[in-house]
Amino acid sequence: MNILFYTPDDKHDIWLPVLRAALPQSTIRLWHEGDNSPADYAIVWKPPAAVLREQHDLKAIFVLGAGVDAMLQLGEALPANVPLIRIDDGGMALQMAQYVSHAVLTYFRWFDVYAKQAQTGEWQQHAPLSSADFGVGIMGLGVLGSRVAKALRALGFPVNAWTRSARSDADLDGVQSYVGEADFSRFLQASRVLVCVLPLTTQTENILNRHTLAQLPRGSYLINIARGAHVVEEDLQELIAEGHIAGATLDVFRQEPLPPTHAFWREPRITITPHISALTLHDEAAVQIAQKIAALENGLAVAGVVDLARGY
């Protein structure tokens, strides 16, 4: 079996050995400029159009991450009728649940305030907040958002989830569901912390803007672990300056790496991390891809196939 591989950086040094170990019967080659030889499968992350444009025999394309927005931007260069398969979970959901739990607890338990006080040796207790007043609203309830919701429920927070269409997940007991455009305002008004885990599509780009963020209760927090383009950055900055948003924890940005001159770096109420809320775990991802290739070769269905019309 011939497999074409591409990542935009020198990460292939890490990926190729683990993929070759997981797929010992296959020939896995690193794409190079001008390589149009046919392949059975492609395993890629953010490929330029040239990687896939001339691939007419692919049985599936595996994306080395959860978000497929960069793939959909390839437009015509994305071979039609070839299943696009993302990593589903692969250790990412737990990492995201840890990241969001840490951020929510930081705000809820005043840890950000205590860290600042410690810098000046200030001993000052703050009254515990009531978790009933600390509803966490999760935008997007796929594999990743569901795991985040579960973790926050276990920590005692009221959890609201906003989704495009109604869901019936039995194991998401206790999560207040809000569906579609009609429920969006009520969802925002009920959420003291807003967590974005949405896929980036034309419908969700810029969804976090002055109009929507202003509907959160005064003193709310934003946690974005999805894509930078969900947020209108100037609007967020203004709402923080006005005190409407008390703080934000941001893992993703319109431009990455976030330029050193970006105003977010100078806003103490914004906590910045370098797109690490969930890193793809190489071994788990390689095993998952190998299992899916085996399933596809046997004519079986696999999880994580992207609905191209929906965009995720």
Selected binder of ligand GLV within 47, 65, 140, 304 (CB under 6 A): 65
In the bound complex, what is the minimum distance in angstroms from residue 55's beta carbon to ligand GLV?
22
* The length of the chain, given as a count of residues: 312
Write 170-178 long-range contacts (CB < 8 A, 24+). 171/146, 172/141, 172/146, 175/141, 175/149, 178/137
Distances (CA, A) of 179 to 88, 103, 199: 23, 25, 16
Between CA 311 and CA 204 the distance in angstroms is: 10
Assign 88 to helix, strand or coil.
Answer: coil
Distances (CA, A) of 65 to 38, 84, 132, 155, 274: 23, 12, 35, 28, 16
In the bound complex, what is the minimum distance in angstroms from residue 211's beta carbon to ligand GLV?
26
Based on the shown chain and the rule CB under 6 A, indicate whether residue 67 belongs to the binding site for ligand GLV. Answer: yes
- DSSP H helix total and E strand total for the chain: 10, 12
In the bound state, the residue with its beta carbon closest to ligand GLV is 65
Stretch that binds ligand GLV, among 11-19, 22-30, 64-72, 174-182 (CB under 6 A): 64-72
Based on the shown chain and the rule CB under 6 A, indicate whether residue 58 belongs to the binding site for ligand GLV. Answer: no
Task: Give Rg (Cα) of the chain.
Answer: 21
Based on the shown chain and the rule CB under 6 A, indicate whether residue 3 belongs to the binding site for ligand GLV. Answer: no
Selected binder of ligand GLV within 22, 52, 66, 190 (CB under 6 A): 66
Binding mask 268-297 for ligand GLV (x = CB under 6 A): ------------x-----------------
Is 86 part of the annotated catalytic residue set? no
Q: Which residues are catalytic?
A: 227, 275
Interaction site with ligand GLV (CB under 6 A): 65-67, 280
